[in-house]
Chains A and B, each alone.
Chain A
Amino acid sequence: MSLLEVSGLKLRFYSLDGPIEPLDRVGFQLEEGEVLGLVGETGCGKSITAKSIIKLISYSGGEIINGSIIFDHEDLLSKSEKEMQKIRGAKISLISQDPMTSLDPVYRVGDQIIEAIQVHKKLHYKEAKKKAVELMRLMGIPLPKKVFYQYPHELSGGMKQRIIIAIALSCDPALVIADEPTTALDVTIQAQIIDLFNKLKEQFQSAFLLITHDLGVVAQMCNSVAIMYAGNIVEKGSVKKIFHSPNHPYTKSLLECIPKMNQKQKKLMAIPGSVPHPLHFPTGCRFYPRCQYAMKKCLSQHPGLIKVDNDHFVACFKYSNNSNGE
């Protein structure tokens, strides 16, 4: 049994233009200590997948209408809000996209780390503070005792991200969901944060669900990867398989978009078209309007995930047994 098993996840939001279902049939597994990358373009549903796992999506107006989320042998969807509060922060924690807006501006950063420790571990302020300072040191924050008393606006983006990571790891969670932890940072800080993650993942033995649109980050940090397109998982497998023998046309195009160091290229590759709006998702395979291999079948039928290898799955009719090829 895996640590986290998401299957058939379907999400609905209500908008003025009618219901929107940005996620459909999303499923993946995460083993203990594993780092899974969830990759996709902006707007494909990565962040709401993250929020769904800890059931925070209702606070954004969304509703999980189908599927199951099994974490540590427990069905999270049947849990009450009270029970979820015991899991959030303690067993599953969240690192969000933009460190600039992820800390409460009116509290000292130290107290924000302590808040997380105190709610789950009944520690006195003094002990909690000791632990917080220790965590800050682990995150590579210089002068942690001084930074403890500073407010978020006094810290740089990189420092804030370190604080947020400290908060996420404060109760030794089994799973950390990191929603684009490096996107808002500049490249040098990005590299530092990635190094930090690689260090922490050994130290804390937590599993990581890393949400990103940066394949470089995936290559550096992940064991396996799931590619998402328009609210569907289109391909998943080990990093090796996905990077060396991608099957889905979308994955292939994504990898081709990365400029190569050893080749002279006049123009950067781009996938023609754009991600459809959730109100206007095509029926059948959601990628077919942009796919160069699209067949008749793709217009009307939704391809399910098909096993290509032991650790490699793809959702494309090109690879199903009964397909007639291109």
Chain B
Amino acid sequence: MINYTIHRLIMMIPVFILCSMIIFLILHLVPGNPVDNLLRPGSPPEAREQLIIEFGLDRPIHQQYIIWLKNIFQGNMGFSITEQRNVSELLLLKLPNTVALGVVSFLISFILGILLGALSAIKQNTIVDYGGMVFALLGVSVPTFWLGLMLMLIFSVNLGWFPISGYGDLKSLVLPAFTLGLAGAGLIARVTRASMLEIAQKDYIAIVRAKGISNTQVIIKHIFRNALIPIITLLGLRLGWIIGGAVTVEIVFNRPGLGRLLANSLFRRDYPVIQGALLLLIFAVMVGNLIADILYAYADPRIRYN
């Protein structure tokens, strides 16, 4: 088990480096230059040249990359071109808001999704199942920004239960968290249902029933337990989303967070900030997958012992 974890951890290093390379290259392929946002209209071309040299943007791209990567491993994520601040400082400032939203919506999507999926599977082909699956389909297919606006319209504008936007307190978290959570819940409900229905048809479930085990026990101890594997896969993917999934919702609800920072920085071509934010995102996805891999091993002895 420890070997397995160490193996997974070591595997993260090349993935991380490869991802950083891709981010860096793609970003520099995008047309536009960050210094254009810093110059007043009508500035002389020499001033532009000056700035480009100042930020080191005139060097060959591989040199720029190596300098950046070296700094990253020394804990220095660079300096924002447009905000005149350290990137790490900027990210840390926005991170708590995003994580709060991410964690709450993650919990909503899993608790709701698993309950709904399991219920639909147990009551297959009944009104409960159909209702649950219609809900799940809507959750998956309705765009987040629209859902956000509708929730806002109903619960903030008409009913006045929650603030339209803002951040910091729990009340302002409810609507954005549900907007983000419902989409995830739909997906998780569908996967849970499909997985449980598949397991329910396995030979060993018939054997367990033939032992005289009660239906509740069969469902919890055997069907759900075995159906967990694909759910854990989603869990790993969604853990990464805690940080990266909130772009639209943060914009719709006007919450200062990582997603909005990322979007704004993209418009300004603020390379160091985008790179820093994306690295953080990749790191979150990798940690999510690592956790999923470790959970797999706990859930399935066939993985544990290979």
Contacts and interface: CB of A to CB of B under 8 A. Distances in A.
Given A101-B202, A105-B302, A87 B212 contact: yes
Given A105-B300, A106-B225, A164 B212 contact: no
A116 to B, nearest CB: 4
Interface in A118-160: 119-120, 151, 153-154
B210 A89 contact: yes
A60 B202 CA distance: 10
A322 to B, nearest CB: 44
Interface string A85-126: 111111001101110011111100000000110011000000
A227 interface: no
Interface in B179-222: 200-215, 222
Given A151-B301, A153-B302, A104 B212 contact: no
B122 to A, nearest CB: 12
Interface size class, chain A: 20 to 34
B211 A115 contact: yes
Contact of A56 (B204, B210, B299, B302): B210
Interface centre among B202, B209, B210, B225 (most CB of A within 10 A): B210
A88 B210 contact: yes
Contacts of B201: 60
A314 interface: no
A240 interface: no
Nearest to A97: B203
B226 interface: yes
B206 A88 contact: no
Interface centre among B200, B203, B305 (most CB of A within 10 A): B203
Contacts of A82: 214
Interface string A152-173: 0110000000001001000000
A104 B204 contact: yes
Contacts of B200: 59
B212 A90 contact: yes
A96 B202 CA distance: 11
B199 to A, nearest CB: 10
A167 B205 CA distance: 14
Contacts of A90: 212
Contacts of A153: 301-302, 305
Contacts of A230: none
B84 to A, nearest CB: 55
B301 A102 contact: no
A106 B226 contact: yes
Contacts of B300: 105-106
Contact of A105 (B207, B209, B212, B301): B301
A94 B302 contact: no
The 8 A-B pairs at the shortest CB distance, nearest first, are namely A89-B212, A94-B210, A88-B212, A89-B211, A101-B203, A116-B211, A151-B301, A104-B204
20 contacts: A51-B206, A56-B209, A59-B200, A59-B209, A85-B213, A88-B210, A88-B212, A89-B211, A89-B212, A89-B213, A90-B212, A101-B203, A105-B204, A106-B226, A106-B299, A116-B212, A120-B212, A151-B301, A153-B301, A167-B207
Given A96-B207, A106-B300, 10 more contacts: A56-B206, A85-B213, A85-B214, A102-B204, A103-B207, A105-B204, A105-B226, A105-B300, A106-B226, A120-B212
Interface of B: 200-215, 222, 225-226, 299-302, 305
